[in-house]
Structures are given as structure tokens and as C-alpha cells.
């Protein structure tokens, strides 16, 4: 069975600083990988996804993520954080076929002026 | 399109009561799923469906039933609510493999 680890429960960054949120997965084959964002009291919104091909994936809101098979990682990055990026971010993995999606426990991002 | 809708938004139940959480989508999506979200545990898959008449268990199915009689609707039934089922429940849908999964706004359930 697949699993996801988000080692950072809470991260604080200054507005305008760069951001990297870590995600490590466990799965025997090449997985489907996702990053979602959740604002307080809201549902989840997909930021980006990786299924195959180019290992650097561009998403919405200026986010990108890089799939590194050798490190079993799919870290999310943004070069310059805005106050509106404060939210909770979830990494998720699914086997090929995409039937069951497993989510990490989330990383809560705080943005300070 | 309304997307994925969930009702009610908030519900309080007493232990042992039953209820149905409603989920509907108007995007003609084949795949639908139910998740629960608990602090420090992320989202966990309860049940999912790959089309009308086809359902399967996820990671935490105990205490929940589902059915899928139409493409649009995927209700989640709690037969005998327990305090451990206090959670926020999200329904999600997507068209097919490799398509974006859309989430509803959630139902907050409190079981006393």
C-alpha cells in the first residue's frame, strides 16, 4: 500500500520569501502525485499533479513541484510567497489507475509580513 | 455548473442515531469518493465509486455505507453514529483517470 509523509506540520515564512514544502512517498511503482491546498473552512483545491513525463510540474498560483524518483520525493516550491498563500497544503499519492488516493497529514503555512 | 455539493453543512447527532450525508455532482463524473478529515491525520478515504452501481471500500469504511444508484449522487450513510465519527466529511468527484478531482465544501459532523 502507498503512504505519504509530510515531515513539516507547520511552517512560517516571510512574505516575499521562497517556499519549499516537503513530501516523501512510499510506493513500489511510479505513482500519481498531487498537491492540494485548503483554506480555512474550505474544501481542497488541486494545485498540480504528476502522472508521467517531465518531472518538473507547473501548477496554479505560481507553484511548481519536482518528482525525484531516487529520493521518493515530490516537493512543492514557490519562489515568492504572498500573504494569500497562507493555508494548509496536502501532498497525496495514488497508484496507477488512480482508484485510491492517500493523503499526507498536511503542512500548515503561515505567512508573516 | 454547481460542481460538487454537499448537504448538510453542519450536523449534530446523538450516539446511536443514523443519518445520511448527501453528495451530488452535475459534471457527469464517473468517479466519486468520500473522505473524512481529522486533525493531524489528513484526509482518509472511506468509500469510493467508479460508476453507477459500483462501490468499494477505502481505508476507513467501518460504520459507513454507500450506494450509487445514479451518476450524480453518492450518499454516505451512518447507521449508528459514534463519537469517533465526529469529523469533517468531504465528497469528491472526477471524470476519469488522470482528471482533476474536485472536492465539495464539506460537512462538519459532531456526534455527542
Search chain B and give the residue with CA nearest A10. B40
Placement of cell 454516505 in the chain: B76
Give per-residue pLDDT as tens, A75-95: 999 999 999 999 999 999 988
Q: Is the pLDDT assigned to residue B63 strictly greater than 70?
A: yes
Nearest-by-CA chain A residue for B55: A99
| Mean pLDDT, range B2-24, rounded to an integer | 95
Task: List the beta bridge partners of residue A67.
Answer: A74
Distance CA B15, CA A89 (A): 33
Asked if A103 and B42 come within 8 Å (Cβ–Cβ), the reply is yes
Nearby residues of B88 by Cβ (< 8 Å), 6 or more positions away? B36, B37, B38, B106, B107, B108, B109
Tell how far CA A58 is from the center of its chain: 12
Computed from CA positions of residues A23, A101, B15, B109, in that sequence, does the dihedral angle turn out positive or negative?
positive
- Decide if B78 contacts B12 (C-beta within 8 A): no
- Average pLDDT of the segment spanning B70-90: 96
φ and ψ at residue A83, rounded to 5 degrees: -55, -30
Amino acid at each position: 500500500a502507498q503512504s505519504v509523509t509530510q515531515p513539516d506540520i507547520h511552517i512560517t515564512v516571510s512574505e516575499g520569501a521562497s517556499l519549499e514544502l516537503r513530501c516523501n512517498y512510499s510506493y513500489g511503482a511510479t505513482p500519481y502525485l498531487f498537491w492540494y491546498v485548503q483554506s480555512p473552512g474550505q474544501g481542497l483545491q488541486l494545485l498540480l499533479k504528476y502522472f508521467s513525463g517531465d518531472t518538473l510540474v507547473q501548477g496554479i498560483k505560481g507553484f511548481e513541484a519536482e518528482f525525484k524518483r531516487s529520493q521518493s520525493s515530490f516537493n512543492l516550491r514557490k519562489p515568492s510567497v504572498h500573504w494569500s498563500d497562507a493555508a494548509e497544503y496536502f501532498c497525496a499519492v495514488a497508484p496507477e489507475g488512480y482508484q485510491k488516493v492517500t493523503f499526507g497529514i498536511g503542512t500548515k503555512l503561515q505567512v508573516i509580513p | 455548473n454547481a460542481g460538487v455539493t454537499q448537504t448538510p453543512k453542519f450536523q449534530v447527532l446523538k450516539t446511536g442515531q443514523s443519518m445520511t450525508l448527501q453528495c451530488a455532482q452535475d459534471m457527469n463524473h464517473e468517479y466519486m469518493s468520500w473522505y473524512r478529515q481529522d486533525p493531524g491525520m489528513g484526509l482518509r478515504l472511506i468509500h469510493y465509486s467508479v460508476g453507477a452501481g459500483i462501490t468499494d471500500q477505502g481505508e476507513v469504511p467501518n460504520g459507513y455505507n454507500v450506494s450509487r444508484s445514479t451518476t450524480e449522487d453518492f450518499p454516505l450513510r451512518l447507521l449508528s453514529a459514534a463519537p469517533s465519527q465526529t469529523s469533517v466529511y468531504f465528497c469528491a468527484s472526477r471524470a476519469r483517470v488522470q482528471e482533476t478531482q474536485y472536492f465539495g465544501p464539506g460537512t462538519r459532523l459532531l456526534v455527542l
